[in-house]
Structure 1
């Protein structure tokens, strides 16, 4: 494919992805109220449990509108994830051989539900993180949570969990593509656990151990699960290579 046609295809895929995100954002605009109520619910619960003044504060004149736009865009990106991930695959696919296309299609098929699982776990962790962090408010004190800060906090939390859950799929992809042997992953398991806990501490926007363990624990399990899945594909590839080498020797 000529460079100009390649750039045209890239532009078209970007446009298609942007249209998908825009459609998702329109949906996000109409479901903003229930989404914001869900985000605010743990804060209201924390205020009732601690008998303290804890509330979301819209400091600026346009903060409420800005918050609605950001929430709508965030919902749009999450809802349209299968669509824009497909556009990425459709752009790369023409340059791949049949075997590589099969790997990338499998990668997307596994990455989407794992990303959703990470988002779901973040949704479970979010109320606990709010309860723990607001619990440090001194008795008699008030906690006015800036709306922009709250949005940044939730976006970091949800995206961190979603992206972290996709990494094991990358491991399997690299092993099945023959770029990394599973014994390499196994040899470095100690370092992997250390790195996972460091990454969990850095990616999660809260300093509490509960949130960090909620991310690190499943990531460790997924790490070893990915090694097991990668090993199955590696065994099949090794058998095919051995059979091909035997056929060549007999010939």
Structure 2
């Protein structure tokens, strides 16, 4: 395939991906205040962790704790928040399409072994990112409960929609990306950069580093989200270390069998 054909193929696949995201954004814009069967609206999903807080921990604008809404202080705040949420949902909903386009552009240049490896890493990485995002969403309420009640005797927090969405999105991205750490460890082991022996020797330092990373990476710096991220990463990295252990043992056994089955070279006898 010539360079011009590569450029045309890239442009075509990029157009399909962008069109899918645009259509997903339109669906997300409608979904923002409409429930789909048993699936709540995007607005309800967004405000769920915030509205689950005690009434005294948030600004309530209605009787009996039924007035849980985010604050908008500008004329465009409501529209911009809805657009941001819709665009994020559109990118997620359209992910199978734009990932397929990306894979279709890359895969012709890969060998069969590389295709299988890439497929495994992409599938595992996607699953780990989703698990991290789900954990982040579950942690948001506890993190907010700490942050919004630490001085509730003196203040009450009226969260703006943009600030709240930025916090939730940051937690989701940080948790999702952090959950890819064990996959990176396994990948480095597969290319012989990190051995199990080295990882086992560094285990204590890795644990300290994960806690330090969680303290720096989590927005807000609350101990709830920091501990949840750090402890989960420790478990996942330990699983990755054990996977590296199995891989290194398998390589050692293969090398031992190869050494036993390889015949020694026959040397010619020296002439007198």
Q: TM-score, normalised by structure 1?
A: 0.86
User: Is 2:184 the counterpart of 1:170?
Assistant: yes
The structure that has the greater radius of gyration is: 2
CA contact (8 A) 1:52 1:140 kept: no
Choose from 89, 94, 98 the match for 1:84: 98
Deviation at 1:91, TM superposition (A): 3.0
CA separation in 1, counterparts of 2:58 and 2:113? 60
- Per-residue CA deviation, residues 121-154 of structure 1 (Å, 9 max, x unaligned), is 1111011111111113443533221211111111
Equivalent residue, structure 1, for 2:204: 190
User: Is 2:29 the counterpart of 1:29?
Assistant: yes
Q: TM-score, normalised by structure 2?
A: 0.80
The structure that is helix-richer by fraction is: 1
Deviation at 1:241, TM superposition (A): 4.7
User: Once structures 1 and 2 are overlaid, which stretch shifts more, 12-21 or 236-245?
Assistant: 236-245
Q: Pairwise mapping of residues 213-228 of structure 1 onto structure 2 (< 5 A)? A: 213-228=227-242
Equivalent residue, structure 2, for 1:127: 141
Q: Could you say if the C-alpha distance between residues 94 and 51 of structure 1 is closer, same or farther in structure 2, counting changes exceeding 3 Å?
A: closer
User: Is 2:217 the counterpart of 1:210?
Assistant: no
CA separation in 2, counterparts of 1:89 and 1:183? 35
Equivalent residue, structure 1, for 2:46: 39
User: Is 2:22 the counterpart of 1:15?
Assistant: no
Matched residue SS, 1:131: helix
Deviation at 1:240, TM superposition (A): 4.2
Q: Could you say if the C-alpha distance between residues 185 and 208 of structure 1 is closer, same or farther in structure 2, counting changes exceeding 3 Å?
A: same
User: Is 2:157 the counterpart of 1:143?
Assistant: yes
CA separation in 1, counterparts of 2:260 and 2:2? 41
CA RMSD of aligned residues (A): 2.6
Matched residue SS, 2:179: helix
CA separation in 2, counterparts of 1:51 and 1:68? 21
CA contact (8 A) 1:89 1:105 kept: no
Q: Could you say if the C-alpha distance between residues 173 and 12 of structure 1 is closer, same or farther in structure 2, counting changes exceeding 3 Å?
A: farther
Count of residue pairs brought into register by the alignment: 251
